[in-house]
Amino acid sequence: MLSGKRILLIVGGGIAAFKSLDLARRLRERGASVTPVLTRAGAEFVTPLSLSALCGQKVYRDLFDLTDEAEMGHIELSRAADLVVVAPATADLMAKMAGGHADDLASTLLMATDKRVLIAPAMNVRMWDHPATQRNLATLQGDGILTVGPNEGDMACGEYGPGRMAEPLEIVEAIGAALNDGPLRGKRIIVTSGPTHEPIDPVRYIANRSSGAQGTAIARALSALGAEVVFVTGPADIPPPEGVEIVRVQTAQQMLEAVMAAHPADGAVFAAAVADWRVDGEATQKIKKTGTGLPTLKFLENPDILATVSQQGEGRPALVVGFAAETEKVVEHATAKRDRKGCDWIVANDVSPATGIMGGAENAVTIIDEGGAESWPRMSKDDVARKIAARIAGALV
């Protein structure tokens, strides 16, 4: 997927630098060449020897290394790449970038480059939350710098929160998306994700427990294969993917409108957990306890977005994929759902409590298409997303 791509990898000084060794390996496995630059602080965490061994190239370290200048000047080094990746991007490196400093090799390359730059920030939670870092982040994003992560989790410093560097495979995906390269290049795909919120009155709503994890992972995986993704999301727990067009909605009706407005598209993946019903006659003021009995809610059926798009005739995306969360007779029910909705594939899973799939990090799915049912082993939701994206690429290309 990254065959022939040239990545300039700047490794900053943080404990996450060890993950950049794995990142280099994975990029090379995918056919990319990786030219490493190690900052002075980075060399406190990984050795130049291990970085150069994994990249298969010499490590550039010093701005004033005259041999390097004779072989390849820093300007050339910064431009002889398709993408510059900074991983880990420390608070200090981000500050230098935002301020336009150029006092060492890494910062000078970042100032001199004419290529896109992707940073994978990694730092202590408080450093990440610090107004200075957030200000620098906003400046960098305003400058068109791409970001991946940081993720939330346990940190090497013993604290918990956002600050962990994105995992190597997430960075690989972000690189693929930044290079807009891959078999889905030129294809536009709509992805719905998350729950919908159906209002009862201005302060109350009906919702479901969808986290948006699977839809987000699919959008990211499609984008990594080069697709132009329109991500229509209800109010989800997790942040939306980077590098895709994001349309935020609350209700099923708004989601349908956003999906129709995103046409024409080559493909559509409906991973949202859309509420089946909405409240008839949403109250314009907060409903009060009157002491004279309980309020009664009347419901109306929401539009079925998957069925509407699948059955629209002209303008229908070439491939429409729906999901089916079942608790029993998974293949039988999902096959019937595919027929009823008129979509091309159904991604079915067993969400009965014993599986731990609902809200968990793993999924075990069966894909139902016109040829029958294909069951995949249990794997992470990210891996399911990658496999679905690869299957979509096979069908659309």
- CA dihedral (18, 22, 24, 25) in degrees, to 10, reads 150
Comparing CA positions, the residue from 87, 47, 268, 55 lying closest to residue 169 is: 87
Q: Which of 37, 34, 44 is nearest to 13 (CA)?
A: 44
DSSP-assigned beta bridge partners for residue 164: 151
Which residue number, 27 or 232, has a Cβ lying nearer to ligand C5P? 232
CB of 336 to ligand C5P, least distance (A): 11
C-beta of residue 191 within 8 angstroms of C-beta of residue 271 = yes
Q: Tokens standing for 391?
A: 């299957």
Residue in this structure with the two tokens 């729950």, named with its chain if needed: 195
Q: Which residues contact 195 (CB under 8 A, 6 or more apart)?
A: 207, 208, 209, 210, 212, 234, 235, 236, 272, 273, 275
**Shortest gap between Cβ of 322 and ligand C5P (angstroms)?**
4
Of 333, 336, 334, 344, the C-alpha closest to 306 is 344
Q: Provide, rounded to whole angstroms, the least separation between the CB of residue 309 and ligand C5P.
A: 8
Which residue lies nearer to ligand C5P by CB, 26 or 197? 197
Minimum Å distance from CB 259 to ligand C5P? 8
Q: Looking at residue 6, what DSSP letter applies?
A: E
Cβ-closest position to ligand C5P? 305
Task: List residues near ligand C5P by CB under 6 A.
Answer: 192, 252, 270, 272, 274, 302-306, 322-324
Nearer to ligand C5P by C-beta: 151 or 352? 352
Q: Are strands 151-154 and 160-164 parallel, antiparallel or unpaired?
A: antiparallel
Minimum distance of ligand C5P from residue 375's CB (angstroms) = 18
- For the bound state, the minimum distance from the C-beta of residue 270 to ligand C5P, rounded and expressed in Å, comes to 4
What is the spatial distance between Cα 322 and Cα 327, in angstroms, rounded to a whole number? 17
List alpha helices for 113-225, DSSP H: 125-129, 131-142, 168-178, 213-224
* Peptide bond preceding 264 in cis form (omega within 30 of 0): yes
Taking 3-state DSSP, the helix, strand and coil percentages for the chain, each rounded to the nearest 5, stand at: 35, 25, 40
Cβ distance to ligand C5P smaller for residue 205 or 270: 270
Q: Which of 80, 138, 156, 157 is catalytic?
A: 157
If the CB atoms of residues 180 and 253 are measured against ligand C5P, the closer one turns out to be 253
Please indicate whether residue 343 is annotated as part of the active site.
no
Active site amino acids: 157
